[in-house]
Structure 1
Amino acid sequence: MSILIADSGATKTEWCVKSADGNKIYKTEGLNPYYHTTQSIKDVVENELRAKLDDGIEITDVHFYGAGCDSEEKKERVDAALTYNFPDATLHIYHDLLGAARACFFNEPGIACILGTGSNSCLYDGEKIIEHIPSLAFILGDEGSAGYFGKKLINQYYRFELPDNLRKDLEENYNMDLDHITKELYDGSQKSRFIASYASFLGEHEDHPHIKEMLYEGFENFITRIVMKYTNASDYEVCFIGSVAHGHKDMINGILEKHGMKSGRYISKPMKRLIEFHSL
């Protein structure tokens, strides 16, 4: 008998089959129910995951932590797809914020943050989320995320606000054709993921003063406009999940310290910690 744990973000889903024989990791695309139908989730799980599982493996429980699983309607979409693929398993569908909180703190309280393709945060009491300031998605919010920085970068490029050396390097290594960008924004199925892909440029040039300023502004906005608004925020450790936070932890730590906040661990990928949590 085995349990299946999934950590699903906007870009990718990491799966772990946990059994007496050890743990096996698999990867598929992200399965956010805001962008995926029940049928498309079912197809991805069937073709990209189930087809790779060992013959005869018996999945008894599925713990799915997913971006976009923030309402019963969205959870039901994922539930139906997983029921089709694992009809005999007991299903547990959670928002990815609870996964972040469990990975960060296990059963202790704290402020859990996600900074990846998108951003999110919550105040966790060691068992459940007790406060949540909405991220408002990449169009209205998502401060500090790859989507937020990608949007800023593209905007500054077309407003001629980038220094010439950065502008030239961006043109040489990224598709800055306006028709291409506009088409993806209006017709693409994964708009936030597309915009977030441009944020890699910031990581490649993080020592440039202009990029440093852009990164600092985005992270400070996330901390001052969101994290510090939680009740008695300075009493809690602030922990981060996601590649964006992990890659810029020194800068984020400096901002937290500046505002009297306590920094905790930075976790690039939460799966290892979720495996440990489900072993408690």
Structure 2
Amino acid sequence: MSILIADSGATKTEWCLVNEGQADTYFTEGLNPYYHTTESIEKVIHENLLPELDEPVEELFFYGAGCDGEKKYQTIKKALDLCFPDANKNIYHDLLGAARACFFNEPGIACILGTGSNSCLYDGEKIIEHIPSLAFILGDEGSAGYFGKKLINKYFRFEIPDDLKKDLEENYNMSLEHINKGLYDGEQKSRFIASYGAFLGEHSDHPFVKEMLYEGFDNFISRIVLNYTNAQDYEVRFIGSVAFAYQELINEILAEYGFSSGQFIKNPMERLVTFHTDPKLKES
């Protein structure tokens, strides 16, 4: 049986076609229904994915950011129905994908730290508690979007040291007109803001940046992770490029709050393939 698995975030969608033990990977842009319509999702898949597939898809598992309500679910489903009319389709929020990739069928607290952030308490089968991320405008603590927002704010409040300010201006467009255009006219505002968060990774040894990073991850752990029921009884694991890049600092903060060291998974796809193909593991 040919199985297609999709992990779709704000920035990109990774697709993995599995058939008879062979796995082939493809990439398209992120297909978040908060930023895409059914028509635009269908267009991306038809133009950038379907020409690469050599065989029909029988089973499709789609894990997507933004698939958290009936209307957004239907946006994705209608597009997938058009693109894969004969496939048996299973559509889930990307948070369940993160939980399955982190823990398979064991309980724990699963966290996403990438362009955005999210988390949940997982019982080994389903999500039993979820503290909302509140997106990049109101929350998303510890994400690239969160750090990008903080950096821009500090720049225009004259709070960035001169050496960092000079480097920021030389390598990033800091004109207010450009930033306002990205915020008010851009289709994917969170991705635009998150692009500025990369500056912190380029200067992670600077004391000012270290303080910003510590504050962001501390907020994520103390204000979110710590508030799950009996949180310290569970292992905490992380998915995402931001978590993977700063795992040493995150582990340090976890220890301060009484958690054991977490496991960090840069990319969940390999473990999602295992979850959906290993007969010893549950698929739903």
TM norm structure 1: 0.98
Alignment of 1:277 with 2:275, yes or no, is yes
Deviations 1:166-197 (A, max 9, x none): 00000000011110110111111000000000
Alignment of 1:252 with 2:250, yes or no, is yes
Offset, 1:250: 0.3
Instruction: Return the alpha-carbon distance in structure 2 between the equivalents of residues 197 and 190 of structure 1.
Output: 11
Instruction: Return the alpha-carbon distance in structure 1 between the equivalents of residues 190 and 161 of structure 2.
Output: 25
Q: Secondary structure at the match of 2:262?
A: strand
Alignment of 1:265 with 2:263, yes or no, is yes
Alignment of 1:114 with 2:112, yes or no, is yes
Deviations 1:22-78 (A, max 9, x none): 000000000000000000001001111001112xx1210110000000112111110
Instruction: Return the alpha-carbon distance in structure 2 between the equivalents of residues 36 and 259 of structure 1.
Output: 39
What letter corresponds to residue 2 of structure 2 in structure 1? S
Deviations 1:143-163 (A, max 9, x none): 000000000000111111000
Specify every segment of 5 or more residues in structure 1 that has no aligned partner in the other structure, as ranges: none
Q: Secondary structure at the match of 1:25?
A: strand
Instruction: Return the alpha-carbon distance in structure 2 between the equivalents of residues 131 and 32 of structure 1.
Output: 22
Alignment of 1:41 with 2:41, yes or no, is yes
Deviations 1:79-133 (A, max 9, x none): 1101101000010000000000000000000000000000000000000000000
Aligned match of 2:97: 99
What letter corresponds to residue 218 of structure 1 in structure 2? G
Offset, 1:264: 2.6
Aligned match of 2:281: none
What letter corresponds to residue 172 of structure 1 in structure 2? E
Q: What's the Cα RMSD here?
A: 0.7
Instruction: Return the alpha-carbon distance in structure 1 between the equivalents of residues 260 and 277 of structure 2.
Output: 28
Aligned match of 2:10: 10
Instruction: Return the alpha-carbon distance in structure 2 between the equivalents of residues 98 and 258 of structure 1.
Output: 27
Offset, 1:21: 5.3
Alignment of 1:181 with 2:179, yes or no, is yes
Aligned match of 2:86: 88
Instruction: Return the alpha-carbon distance in structure 2 between the equivalents of residues 156 and 49 of structure 1.
Output: 40
Aligned pairs (5 A) from 1:211-250 = 211-250=209-248
Instruction: Return the alpha-carbon distance in structure 1 between the equivalents of residues 33 and 259 of structure 2.
Output: 34
Moved over 2 A (4+): none
Instruction: Return the alpha-carbon distance in structure 2 between the equivalents of residues 36 and 116 of structure 1.
Output: 20
Instruction: Return the alpha-carbon distance in structure 1 between the equivalents of residues 170 and 233 of structure 2.
Output: 47
**Aligned positions, number:** 278
Instruction: Return the alpha-carbon distance in structure 1 between the equivalents of residues 97 and 134 of structure 2.
Output: 19
Q: Secondary structure at the match of 2:85?
A: coil
Aligned match of 2:132: 134
TM norm structure 2: 0.97
Aligned match of 1:77: 75
What letter corresponds to residue 141 of structure 1 in structure 2? G
Q: Which moved more, 1:154-163 or 1:260-269?
A: 260-269
Aligned match of 1:194: 192
Q: Secondary structure at the match of 1:59?
A: coil
What letter corresponds to residue 87 of structure 1 in structure 2? P
Aligned match of 1:28: 28
Identity %: 70
Instruction: Return the alpha-carbon distance in structure 2 between the equivalents of residues 262 and 58 of structure 1.
Output: 44
Instruction: Return the alpha-carbon distance in structure 1 between the equivalents of residues 185 and 69 of structure 2.
Output: 26
Offset, 1:263: 2.8
Q: Secondary structure at the match of 1:65?
A: strand
Instruction: Return the alpha-carbon distance in structure 2 between the equivalents of residues 164 and 20 of structure 1.
Output: 57
Q: Which moved more, 1:259-268 or 1:65-74?
A: 259-268
What letter corresponds to residue 3 of structure 1 in structure 2? I
